């Protein structure tokens, strides 16, 4: 994703980075011992795609898990053959980088419900030979975390030096500490939220609506038909992407520039070509949408956005008890936001940090200046890289 972000990379020399890496897959939760989800449904086997960087130490306690955001995948760092095309968090992860692979054993798994190698709603169910579609069970952030915990146990990890994630990834990190605080030494929660606002939910609802109503969605039975809800998914990506970047980022990068300069300023004859991209920002969004439709699945988009809507751990009846266990476990938090983020802005991180602090959990809270909006957590922003490095070294 790095090469698709809006900002050009910063000037900092990050060193050579990881070399070629591979995505692995493992089957967890055999049918006879399935995953039991929050809704009571049973799911097994569950295939999990993941990557690892660095080496697990003998004690099994130098692991760092990276929890990915809505449209991420297991390929966080290094490359798959083309050193110019690197994993989505390559700026943060590698030898000598903020998450130092000379020191840590780093693991990143594609999420349950995803579409990049881990079991999700568009995968073929081995039991029926057909995709599950909307029969796939409803999920929670807690379910996403359960699967990653099982993967780490399988890999021999006994304790996490850190769990790190941005956006939905940060929500998983928070949930992980509430679910199993004794497993997590440090938690890095970046531009996340512990309760989506009405506006957050409304924007996700609008994005989902186009997919759900797209005739090619076919009630979720599109996998295997040769048709996918391309219209709905494209519009959803465009809308979603606008929320990932700040107004200032779009102004700096595009303002009102036209690709063909003043030549197209005159109104065209009729409507036939009028709605094709002419502004640079439109070309950018079209590129975002067309590449997204190739790599991401509409059912995964529906499921993982709905998971976010529902997440409100501090409003659960057992919130106080769970927070007490986090305090007892000694888990420490770094909670970062970015000044121009309007998806999960500073107020979301303030709320999240205040709930932790109020329960006596140690929290470092930083609002990092960045013009780039929500996607800042993916970018080589010096203050952000240094905060993560410093927190992990502390």
Between 141 and 385, CB nearer to a second copy: 141
Query: Given candidates 150, 250, 354, 389, which one binds a second copy under the rule CB under 8 A?
Result: 250
Between 74 and 236, CB nearer to a second copy: 236
Q: Is 133 left (phi over 0), alpha (psi -120 to 50) or beta?
A: left
Minimal distance, residue 353 CB to a second copy, in Å = 19
Question: CB pairs under 8 A, 24+ apart, for 196-205?
Answer: 196/308, 196/309, 196/311, 196/312, 197/348, 200/308, 200/309, 200/343, 200/344, 201/309, 203/239, 203/240, 203/243, 204/305, 204/306, 204/308, 204/309
* Contact flags string 41-70 toward a second copy, x per CB under 8 A: x-----------------------------
263 binds a second copy (CB under 8 A): no
CA distance 307 to 16: 37
Q: Is-contact 106 53, C-beta < 8 A?
A: yes
CA distance 183 to 176: 8
139 binds a second copy (CB under 8 A): yes
Cα 332 versus chain centre, distance: 22
CA distance 298 to 361: 38
Minimal distance, residue 65 CB to a second copy, in Å = 23
Give how many residues touch a second copy by CB under 8 A: 72
Which residues are marked as active site?
Answer: 167, 341, 374
Minimal distance, residue 222 CB to a second copy, in Å = 13
Cβ atoms < 10 Å from Cβ of 125: 15
User: Residue 241's closest CA among 196, 192, 193, 283?
Assistant: 283
Between 22 and 198, CB nearer to a second copy: 198
40 to each of 5, 35, 176, 312, 342, how far by Cα in Å?
38, 9, 19, 19, 35
Between 72 and 113, CB nearer to a second copy: 113
What does DSSP say about strands 42-43 and 35-36: parallel, antiparallel, or unpaired? Answer: antiparallel
Query: Given candidates 112, 131, 238, 355, which one binds a second copy under the rule CB under 8 A?
Result: 238
37 binds a second copy (CB under 8 A): yes
Minimal distance, residue 287 CB to a second copy, in Å = 12
CA distance 185 to 388: 14
CA distance 312 to 140: 10
Write the burial class of residue 393 (CB in 10 Å: 0-12 exposed, 13-18 middle, 19+ buried).
exposed
Phi, psi angles (nearest 5°) of residue 114: -80, -165
Between 40 and 81, CB nearer to a second copy: 40
Query: Given candidates 68, 186, 208, 332, which one binds a second copy under the rule CB under 8 A?
Result: 208
Q: Which stretch binds a second copy (CB under 8 A): 34-42, 86-94, 153-161, 179-187?
A: 34-42
Minimal distance, residue 47 CB to a second copy, in Å = 19
Query: Given candidates 116, 186, 230, 374, which one binds a second copy under the rule CB under 8 A?
Result: 230
Residues 276-315 that bind a second copy (CB under 8 A): 277, 279, 281-282, 285, 289, 299, 302-303, 306, 309-310, 312
Minimal distance, residue 309 CB to a second copy, in Å = 7
Query: Given candidates 129, 215, 226, 261, which one binds a second copy under the rule CB under 8 A?
Result: 215
Query: Given candidates 30, 39, 318, 321, which one binds a second copy under the rule CB under 8 A?
Result: 39
Residues 105-134 that bind a second copy (CB under 8 A): 121, 133-134
221 binds a second copy (CB under 8 A): no
Minimal distance, residue 383 CB to a second copy, in Å = 25
Between 62 and 179, CB nearer to a second copy: 179
């Amino acid at each position: 994703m790095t090469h698709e972000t809006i900002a050009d990379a910063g000037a900092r020399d990050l060193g050579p980075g990881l070399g070629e890496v591979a995505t692995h897959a493992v089957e967890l939760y055999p049918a006879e011992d399935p995953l039991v989800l929050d809704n009571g449904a049973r799911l097994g086997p569950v295939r999990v795609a993941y990557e690892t960087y660095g080496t697990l130490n003998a004690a099994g306690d130098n692991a760092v898990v990276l929890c990915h955001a809505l449209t991420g995948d297991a390929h966080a760092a290094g490359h798959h053959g083309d050193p110019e095309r690197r994993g989505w968090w390559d700026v943060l992860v590698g030898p000598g980088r903020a998450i130092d692979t000379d020191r840590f054993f780093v693991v990143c798994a594609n999420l349950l419900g995803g579409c990049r190698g881990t079991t999700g709603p568009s995968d073929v169910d081995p039991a029926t030979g057909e995709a599950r579609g909307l029969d796939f069970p409803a999920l929670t952030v807690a379910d996403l975390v359960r699967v990653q915990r099982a993967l780490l146990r399988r890999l021999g990890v006994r304790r996490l030096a850190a769990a790190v994630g941005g956006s939905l990834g940060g929500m998983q990190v928070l949930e992980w500490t509430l679910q199993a605080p004794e497993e997590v030494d440090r938690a890095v929660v970046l531009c996340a939220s512990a309760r989506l606002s009405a506006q957050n939910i409304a924007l996700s609802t609008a994005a989902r609506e186009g997919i759900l109503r797209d005739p090619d969605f076919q009630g979720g039975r599109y996998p295997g038909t040769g048709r996918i809800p391309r219209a709905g998914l494209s519009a959803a990506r465009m809308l979603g992407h606008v929320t990932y970047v700040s107004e200032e980022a779009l102004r700096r990068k595009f303002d009102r520039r036209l690709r063909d300069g003043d030549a197209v300023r005159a109104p065209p004859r009729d409507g036939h070509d009028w709605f094709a991209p002419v502004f640079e920002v439109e070309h950018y969004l079209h590129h975002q949408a067309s590449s997204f439709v190739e790599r991401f699945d509409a059912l995964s988009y529906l499921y993982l956005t709905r998971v976010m809507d529902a997440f409100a751990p501090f409003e659960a009846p057992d919130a106080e008890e769970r927070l007490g266990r986090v305090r007892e476990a000694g888990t420490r938090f770094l909670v970062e936001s970015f000044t121009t983020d309007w998806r999960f802005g500073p107020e979301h991180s303030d709320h999240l940090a205040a709930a932790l602090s109020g329960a006596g959990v140690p929290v470092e809270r930083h609002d990092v200046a960045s013009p780039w909006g929500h996607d800042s957590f993916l970018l080589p922003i010096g203050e952000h890289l240094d905060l993560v490095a410093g927190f992990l070294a502390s």
